Structure 1
Amino acid sequence: MRWHGVTQGRWRRIGSTLWRVVAVWAVSTLTMLVLAGILPDFKLQSDDGDSATRIAVTAALGAGAFGVLSAVVWPLLVRALLLVPALVLGLLAFFLNGSLLLIALRLIPEGRGEVGAETAVVVAAVMSAVASATGGALAVRDDDAYRRRLYRLSDRRRRRNSGRDDQDGGGPVTPGTVFIQLDGVGHDVLRDAVDKGLMPTVADWLGEGKRGATHRLTPWRTDWSSQTGASQLGILHGSNHDVPAFRWYEKDTGEVMVSNRPASAVELQRRAIERTGDGGLLTVDGASRGNLFSGGAEQLALVLSMAARRGKENRSRAGYFAYFSDPANAVRTALSFVAEVFREIGESTRARVKRRRPRIGRGGLYPFIRAFATVVERDVVVAAVIGDMLAGRSAVYADLVAYDEVAHHSGPTGPDVEKVLARLDRSLALLAQVAEHAPRAYRIVLLSDHGQSPGETFRARYGLTLGDLVRAGCGLPVPRRAQRTHSGAEARASVRAALRRPVEEGADERRPARRAEPIVLASGNLGLVSFPDVPHRMTREEIDRRHPALLPTLANHPGIGFLLVRSAERGPVVLGARGVEVYLAEEPAELGPLADFGPGAMEAVRRTDGFPHTADIMVNSWYDPAEGEVLAFEEQIGSHGGLGGAQARPFLLSPLALSEPVAPGQELVGAEQVHHVLRCWLGEELGPEVPVGDAGAVRAENPQVTAREAVAEAAVPVDDSRPNAAGGTAFAAADAAGQDKTH
């Protein structure tokens, strides 16, 4: 009887599949007939005319041939074209689909199918979309498949409640965890979007919809370098030691490190692993999607640190194949890409007509870069995460960069970014729906790596760049017209990697003509000044002897908030306007210019001072506490990278089923501390865990300890740069044996 039931179920599934194939074929045939009647360059009959039956048979043959070619030939084409830049592959989707249709029509006997090349692109796109929609609708309405999903879900819940695996070998008992990073979305931006009704999915999680709360919202504070390179390296690999900014000059190698350059990302990841002695957050059955770093995951897609690899070793490009192997996906994404390009052109034109301020140029390639970030990367990353959930992987970390890219050019608030946030919420809703049908329960954790602070650019307000001001202070000639500072938005690196151009454009232009001239780099509203002819970090006394006017020129400029230099006699010193000096090694009674930058500013600056590759002069822009505005040294009206405003206040949205991230009354400080919290969460309910550092050791010894308790028990001062004060809890990134031995 059991064998009979299994056989009967198998035949039922085969019959259901055949029914869907026939239904999709029939709908595709009708679609082809309608298009043949509408489009003048598309016909399904001979020149002498045919009967209605003959035309219908011709349409059925053409639709069937096109369907077979799409199912068999298309995946092979996509795999072969992975050697082509991924961005180009998305745009080629139309022409590839049209070519398949031309071949399909040529296979019709007696040559009754005929279509123009341009029309073939349109017909193929419409037929692919209709076939995909029909197949998806039938799969959802398949009662037998739906019943099997319910059985599987019920069985999983039963096994989870009983705490043991089903004897028939079902899915995992323990829940998996999906970490979704909304790049650049600050705590206040998320809160405001929920209040405006832009993100109903997040509102439901917070209990502001029709059901009770399932998640808690916790702000956290970044390090001085409030940007993805430092934050994500700390979150995924447990250490962002010696990452002073988004880009910086290293005197020992003579190289400019750029966080979103593949070669730099590989080196930063290597250093973090060497320092912690651990592969990362995702080393146990993990997947990394759309990130700068791998986190130790085996499953990779669009990971920048892997983009420098060539050939079969570059598994990161497999994400493109998995997504674009479906022609309907390729067509849909290509259409959305084109629509997003025109949307950006319309929004930038409207901003110019209304003379909005602040405003920066948004022409050139930017509309295409924005479309890649908000459409292509989003679609591919979300599809990869869905695949991970359906495969039952234990831990997934994905980065969606859409908001960050748009906010850099349109500002952190306003109608442009609100549309992006609404679309991101729809992606979250889709992931939540998929979680209900995955082979294991999933906990979805939403977080951001930093926020963004508004404000016009330094160049727009003062008519010169930070580099011009430094040259003036050094007595060097200054260009009559200030040149724009290259923007370092994270999405640009993904586009360059997709176009097989991993080296950042213009990087070599930052090298001075003579080694005695300073190198000036910008990271949002954080500037770095280095003198490459001096092999060590210059002291304040050395700078004053060489360029006596430089430090006063910078410190007294109205667009500069404060400077960090190191005194040979008294250690790190913060310089402000009108001769204000704050010596960080002496526990000053007054914070001077740091007072306006909020709690934790002194600790963040002190920690950065201890990095081996901190610049000779660190420059933080002016900050208006009342308006929350900063002055970006790059061409961005929404910026991050330094201290000041919302850029240093990201968020962590976690399920109530997980323990609280920090003890009541304490603050989550630094990306390394966030890493410890996430790692402890992975260990709760007997989930995957790779202990590292003190917090991991606490959880390893006692699995019943919650993340909050493990974090509190493991809290120890690293050094004077991050004390265990009321404003936050300190964490050791690694023990002494794991210190970086390269410097």
Structure 2
Amino acid sequence: MGDGRWRRTGRALIGVVAVWAVSTLTMLALAGILPDFQLQSDDGDTVTRTAFTAAWGAGAFGLLSALVWPVLVRALLIVPALVLGALVFFLNGSLLLIALRLIPDGRGTADPETAVVVAAVMSAVASATSTALAVRDDDAYRRRLSRLADRRRRRSGTPGGADRGRGGPPGIVFVQLDGVGHDVLRQAAADGVMPTVAGLLADEAGHGLTPWSTDWSSQTGASQLGILHGSNFDVPAFRWYEKETGTVMVSSRPASALELQRRAIARTRDGGLLTVDGASRGNLFGGGADQLALVLSMAARRGKGRRSRAGYFAYFSDPANAVRTALSFVAEVGREIGQSTRARIRKESPRVKRGGLYPFIRAFATVVERDVVVSAVIGDMFAGRTAVYADLVAYDEVAHHSGPHSRDAAKVLTRLDRSLGLIAKIAEQAPRTYRIVLLSDHGQSPGETFAGKYGLTLKDLVRAGCGLPVPRSAQRTRSASEARDAVRIALHRPVDEQETERSARPSEPVVLASGNLGLLSFPDIEGRASREQLDSRHPALLGTLADHPGVGFLLVRSEEHGSVVLGSGGAEVPVAELTDGEGPLAVFGEGAAEAVRRTDTFPHVADVMVNSMYDPVTGRVHAFEEQIGSHGGLGGEQSRPFLLWPRTLADPMDAMAAEGGTPARIPVGAETVHRILARWLRELSGPQVPLQPAGFTGAARVDMPFPGTDEELLDGSGVVPGPRGEGA
């Protein structure tokens, strides 16, 4: 054994002894503070005896945490993530009770409730001590993780070795800040909310920033499918109804995500953006990566292919990570309760309900998902993987309920910025050079909900326009009254609720919402319903919707004129003749006409597509869901996400031109963004990256998007096992 290895071994032993000593002192201090925690016999002990008891207990707790905890977490992979977070404290306390029982002569005792507190404090102190030691020796920490990464690569057969060093081709990390619009990012950087991003933007020679324009469906399902798999064709919204099967597709449902991924691969005949040595972290879709963690589409797979929870195991197998994240989880729940209470007291407007399970859902998105994903990305960089794509959803979740420009959302941006800073610092120590690209999948547009503004939901308005019964609260609104008057005039007779309920039940529509985009489908009408069919069955419906002040425009198929866009005051424009800045689309900005035209070609476009109003002065829209920050349709910031890239990569517009894209002022559509990112990958890694532009119809290799087994993922999940995750 060489001198260097002896020194490293000596430092490791010193680190273990230091953590043990600090844990012992912590246990002694807690025994003196907490009345229900005892380390002495009833007759009392000498200081030396008490110290020995504390050292024994601290050592036993440390060994149990290292040996038993990973087994417990692996066994609990079947437990929902939110429940697992709550169990962290209980399990840690149970390990402490076992450790106390291992102390000779039974001198260690604690009540179960006290054991939970003691275990949490000891885990946190041990983690902080390990971190302090690691900070003093960054090179040793990097070498340890590099060795772990090498072993993982050898077991999984992933390319590695000397050619993967910092002198080889750079890798690339794509970090998606879910829901952060271009203007929000710039403002946050200018206000000092995101200092890491501000530093990148200040270095104009080193980094570039551009907005890009989403498709009509401005939501993660459509955008991320297009970015990762090169096609989001036939994804009209976040959720939609498919008549041939009678099912509602929901982008956040595992089975739907898996089916959308399958359709995209079949259409492009390519596995995705990450097919060569790639990692997909926290995404809806796999992107063809062979390293997957927290990928929604994986949750729908059974057997060995089901690997969506493996990232949780790899992260929570370290009890310090588990306790730290659990404490942050509890703090975030308290933060949300405090913020929502303050909003109610101040009678802030607009405002939506934020009770029930929402505080826990928010804490999961802003703490658990962030910690696990950031840790996985760091592990991927130390493993030297070629391409990593990770989604951080924290801002999007909070902005939906607090507003995209709220103080609550700004605080989340600050915490995300710290995570970006950590990733950037780790990239400097990784075994290969990395380019870090930041992007978002959509923005968010503010505004009071449709129901909050008008007193009834879109579903209520549709039912009223069809002459169907609506809730009593909706009946008293002006919108419902006008709709019923329109029905009475159209039918030339009073509307009897019981009669219409009996006669119209077969044609009751399915009404779905995707932010400020609404979708109406009539299940008993085969294929896509026409305007003429709807006018015959429900003569007041389309007029009621088009003339409502909360509705911007409708898209519906006409047997006579082809598909048409309807607006208020009887406005009607054939889709083929749509022009930006004119007619019902006048306020929706550049690209709106083409976005509507493209969606009109989808096989599963709804019978009636309803886009809410948009005020270009205030930027407001009206979501058809309970959201005061929304996205999903056209109107405002939701359609302007961002792309921030190092200028060592080709300018996006040049990359578009090289890929045969149509001339435009900014990139348009998620499929275009896919081609830009694919171009960058080829620039860095050479022609071995087997990617084809979206829509390619020639012969191409079809990569299986889900190779590997559970064990391969658990061994090579990329999640950092050491103490550096606390900065995430």
Same fold per superposition (TM over 0.5)? yes
Contact 1:174 1:685 in 2 (8 A): yes
Other-structure match for 2:644: 653
Other-structure match for 1:69: 64
TM-fit CA distance, 1:82: 1.3
Q: How does 1:168-179 map to 2 (within 5 A)?
A: 170=165, 173-179=168-174
- Deviation sequence 1:164-184 (CA, Å, 0-9, x none): x99798567111111111110
TM-fit CA distance, 1:666: 2.5
Classify the secondary structure of the residue corresponding to 2:240.
Answer: strand
2:370 aligned with 1:351: no
CA distance in 1, matches of 2:139, 2:365: 39
Other-structure match for 1:580: 571
Classify the secondary structure of the residue corresponding to 1:437.
Answer: coil
Other-structure match for 1:36: 31
Classify the secondary structure of the residue corresponding to 2:335.
Answer: helix
Contact 2:238 2:250 in 1 (8 A): yes
CA distance in 1, matches of 2:43, 2:469: 80
CA distance in 2, matches of 1:590, 1:302: 42
- Give the TM-score of the pair, scaled to structure 2: 0.86
Contact 1:680 1:689 in 2 (8 A): no
Contact 2:394 2:412 in 1 (8 A): yes
Other-structure match for 2:239: 247
- Deviation sequence 1:307-329 (CA, Å, 0-9, x none): 12244321121100111011111
Classify the secondary structure of the residue corresponding to 2:16.
Answer: helix
Q: How does 1:1-20 map to 2 (within 5 A)?
A: 7-20=2-15
TM-fit CA distance, 1:385: 0.9
Contact 1:394 1:688 in 2 (8 A): no
TM-fit CA distance, 1:89: 1.4
CA distance in 2, matches of 1:598, 1:312: 48
2:479 aligned with 1:479: no
Structure 1 residues 629 and 394 mapped into 2: Cα distance closer, same or farther (>3 Å)? Answer: same
CA distance in 2, matches of 1:611, 1:547: 25
Classify the secondary structure of the residue corresponding to 1:413.
Answer: coil
Which residue identity is paired with 2:240? W
- Deviation sequence 1:453-473 (CA, Å, 0-9, x none): 001011111111111111122
- Deviation sequence 1:341-398 (CA, Å, 0-9, x none): 1111111111111111111111111111111111111111111111111111111111
Structure 1 residues 248 and 150 mapped into 2: Cα distance closer, same or farther (>3 Å)? Answer: closer
Classify the secondary structure of the residue corresponding to 2:329.
Answer: helix
Contact 2:142 2:430 in 1 (8 A): no
Stretches of structure 1 that go unaligned for 5 or more consecutive residues are 1-5, 153-164, 484-511, 695-731, 739-743
2:213 aligned with 1:221: yes
CA distance in 2, matches of 1:169, 1:537: 53
Structure 1 residues 338 and 432 mapped into 2: Cα distance closer, same or farther (>3 Å)? Answer: same
CA distance in 2, matches of 1:624, 1:61: 68
The equivalent position to 2:21 in structure 1, one of 14, 18, 26, is 26
Q: Point out the more displaced range, 583-592 or 424-433.
A: 583-592
TM-fit CA distance, 1:12: 1.7
Contact 1:530 1:617 in 2 (8 A): yes
2:621 aligned with 1:630: yes
Q: How does 1:335-734 map to 2 (within 5 A)?
A: 335-482=327-474, 514-586=505-577, 591-663=582-654, 666-687=665-686, 690-694=689-693, 733-734=695-696
Structure 1 residues 299 and 349 mapped into 2: Cα distance closer, same or farther (>3 Å)? Answer: same
Which residue identity is paired with 1:448? S
TM-fit CA distance, 1:586: 3.8
| Equivalent residues, number | 653
Other-structure match for 2:480: none
Structure 1 residues 513 and 77 mapped into 2: Cα distance closer, same or farther (>3 Å)? Answer: farther
CA distance in 1, matches of 2:562, 2:222: 24
Other-structure match for 1:60: 55
CA distance in 1, matches of 2:367, 2:398: 12
Classify the secondary structure of the residue corresponding to 1:596.
Answer: coil
- Deviation sequence 1:612-646 (CA, Å, 0-9, x none): 01011111111101101001111111000000000
TM-fit CA distance, 1:295: 0.5
2:129 aligned with 1:134: yes
- Deviation sequence 1:542-587 (CA, Å, 0-9, x none): 2222222111111111111001111112212111111111112246
2:101 aligned with 1:83: no
Q: Point out the more displaced range, 107-116 or 527-536.
A: 107-116
Structure 1 residues 513 and 280 mapped into 2: Cα distance closer, same or farther (>3 Å)? Answer: farther
Structure 1 residues 147 and 564 mapped into 2: Cα distance closer, same or farther (>3 Å)? Answer: closer
CA distance in 2, matches of 1:216, 1:540: 46
Contact 1:561 1:621 in 2 (8 A): yes
Structure 1 residues 363 and 139 mapped into 2: Cα distance closer, same or farther (>3 Å)? Answer: same
Aligned-residue RMSD, C-alpha: 2.3
Contact 2:169 2:685 in 1 (8 A): yes
Classify the secondary structure of the residue corresponding to 2:586.
Answer: helix
Classify the secondary structure of the residue corresponding to 1:618.
Answer: strand
Which residue identity is paired with 1:195? A
Structure 1 residues 542 and 370 mapped into 2: Cα distance closer, same or farther (>3 Å)? Answer: same
Classify the secondary structure of the residue corresponding to 2:174.
Answer: strand
CA distance in 1, matches of 2:309, 2:138: 36
- Deviation sequence 1:60-91 (CA, Å, 0-9, x none): 11111111111111111111111222221121
CA distance in 2, matches of 1:589, 1:649: 16
TM-fit CA distance, 1:57: 1.0
Contact 1:453 1:645 in 2 (8 A): yes
CA distance in 1, matches of 2:16, 2:118: 20
CA distance in 2, matches of 1:149, 1:125: 26
Classify the secondary structure of the residue corresponding to 2:44.
Answer: coil
Classify the secondary structure of the residue corresponding to 2:573.
Answer: strand
TM-fit CA distance, 1:9: 1.8
Which residue identity is paired with 1:297? A
CA distance in 2, matches of 1:589, 1:326: 55
Which residue identity is paired with 2:675? H
Structure 1 residues 144 and 527 mapped into 2: Cα distance closer, same or farther (>3 Å)? Answer: closer
Classify the secondary structure of the residue corresponding to 2:202.
Answer: coil
The equivalent position to 1:196 in structure 2, one of 191, 198, 210, is 191
- Give the TM-score of the pair, scaled to structure 1: 0.85
Classify the secondary structure of the residue corresponding to 1:295.
Answer: coil
- Deviation sequence 1:458-514 (CA, Å, 0-9, x none): 11111111111111221222221359xxxxxxxxxxxxxxxxxxxxxxxxxxxx994
CA distance in 1, matches of 2:567, 2:504: 30
Structure 1 residues 535 and 166 mapped into 2: Cα distance closer, same or farther (>3 Å)? Answer: closer
Structure 1 residues 444 and 636 mapped into 2: Cα distance closer, same or farther (>3 Å)? Answer: same
CA distance in 1, matches of 2:190, 2:465: 47
CA distance in 2, matches of 1:251, 1:391: 46
TM-fit CA distance, 1:125: 0.8
TM-fit CA distance, 1:656: 1.2
The equivalent position to 1:329 in structure 2, one of 321, 325, 330, is 321
CA distance in 2, matches of 1:295, 1:167: 27
CA distance in 2, matches of 1:358, 1:170: 53
Structure 1 residues 143 and 286 mapped into 2: Cα distance closer, same or farther (>3 Å)? Answer: closer
Structure 1 residues 382 and 687 mapped into 2: Cα distance closer, same or farther (>3 Å)? Answer: farther
Contact 1:582 1:591 in 2 (8 A): no
CA distance in 2, matches of 1:147, 1:439: 9
Classify the secondary structure of the residue corresponding to 2:128.
Answer: helix
Stretches of structure 2 that go unaligned for 5 or more consecutive residues are 148-159, 476-502, 655-662, 701-728
2:267 aligned with 1:305: no
